[in-house]
Amino acid sequence: MSVASSKSPLVERAIRGGDVVGEAHVIDALEQLVTEQLSLYAWAAGQSQPRALRGRAPVYVVPLPGTHETIVVRHGWHGGLFAPITGDRFRRPTRAPHEYRMSQTLRAWGVPTTAILGFARYSAPLGLCRLDVVSRFEPEAFDLGHVAANLVPGIAIADALEAARRLLVSLAAHRVVHPDLNVKNILLQRDRAGALRALVIDVDVVRIESSSDEARVMARNVRRLMRSLHKWRDRVADTLTDDELSAFEHAALRDVPTRTSGAQRP
């Protein structure tokens, strides 16, 4: 089944051994790179001065030729218990179409997140495929883990936690559950006016639970993030205190909006 539709800004192109999907202003560049190179990820890794960001595996920040975009290219990997077995092989259509739709939806609702621009899928044995995802690079954005470890001059931990709390409120208002919310997939960035905002990333696992109430969604997201904050504090960020973490948790759980008439529903 085609990923693109009459209502979608995505364009889908078949390539030898797979396909490439992207928004209209980047599809030609993506198709050319996939056709000429082994993969988008291999191309990005081989650039003369790629900027590597670390997560489960390196992701690369590079200019996209023929466009004005600076992009982040990441290769798809499974996580969890079966990751050593499944590795980087996915059943079609993979998580990429869902990630693109969630990115579009969240941004339309005013929930800060990165823009997914496209993806490429490459055929693998047993009818599976491998996946590269392309997103727009967000300059001067730092993950909550780095800020919590006092590694980002100019962003105080208290301000970062307050921005994260506002993000949690926005997610709850729209019934958005992020089952893998952690210190690495919340980015902190100053807007043009200098105000600090938090962006949620890795939205391929995000679910919109329309039947849940805000308090329940908030509690689930807070619980997941608190688990990550405590682990991060114990391993890396000993600058975080129990009082700071407790105050953040109580403020988030207390601050579920009582009116949600402005929240758009799917």
For residue range 171-223, list pLDDT tens digits in order.
999 999 999 999 999 999 998 899 999 999 999 999 999 999 999 999 999 99
Q: Using pLDDT thresholds of 50, 70 and 90, give the confidence band for residue 9.
A: confident
132 and 16 fall within a common domain? yes
More confident residue, 53 or 208: 208
14 and 72 fall within a common domain? yes
Answer whether residue 264 is part of any domain. no
Maximum separation of any 2 CA atoms in the chain, in Å: 56
Q: In the prediction, which pLDDT does 50 show?
A: 60
The residue-averaged pLDDT of 75-100 equals 88
Q: In the prediction, which pLDDT does 236 show?
A: 87
Q: Work out the number of other CB atoms within 10 angstroms of the CB of residue 110.
A: 12
- Structural domains of the chain, count: 2
Q: Quick check: 196 and 211 in contact, CB under 8 A?
A: no
72 and 114 fall within a common domain? yes
Q: Quick check: 72 and 134 in contact, CB under 8 A?
A: yes
Q: Work out the number of other CB atoms within 10 angstroms of the CB of residue 234.
A: 10
Q: In the prediction, which pLDDT does 5 show?
A: 55
Using one digit for the tens of pLDDT, what is the confidence trace for 19-44?
999 999 999 999 999 999 889 999 99
**Which of 227, 202, 214, 198 minimizes the C-alpha distance to 265?**
214
Phi, psi at 45, each rounded to 5°: -65, -30
What pTM was estimated for this model as a whole?
0.88
Q: Using pLDDT thresholds of 50, 70 and 90, give the confidence band for residue 262.
A: very low
190 and 102 fall within a common domain? no
Q: In the prediction, which pLDDT does 17 show?
A: 87
- Domain ends where: 81, 101, 136? 136
Q: Quick check: 133 and 3 in contact, CB under 8 A?
A: no
Residue 121 DSSP code: E
Q: In the prediction, which pLDDT does 57 show?
A: 76
Q: In the prediction, which pLDDT does 7 show?
A: 60
- Domain ends where: 117, 136, 155? 136
Answer whether residue 265 is part of any domain. no
Q: In the prediction, which pLDDT does 220 show?
A: 95
Q: In the prediction, which pLDDT does 51 show?
A: 66
Residue 265 in this model has a pLDDT that exceeds 70: no
Q: Which residues pair with 19 in a beta bridge?
A: 14, 121
Range of the domain at 166: 142-254
Q: What does the alpha-carbon distance between residue 170 and residue 164 come to, in Å, rounded to a whole number?
A: 10
98 and 152 fall within a common domain? no
β-pairing, 129-136 vs 51-53, is: unpaired
Q: In the prediction, which pLDDT does 153 show?
A: 92
118 and 224 fall within a common domain? no
- Domain ends where: 111, 136, 161? 136
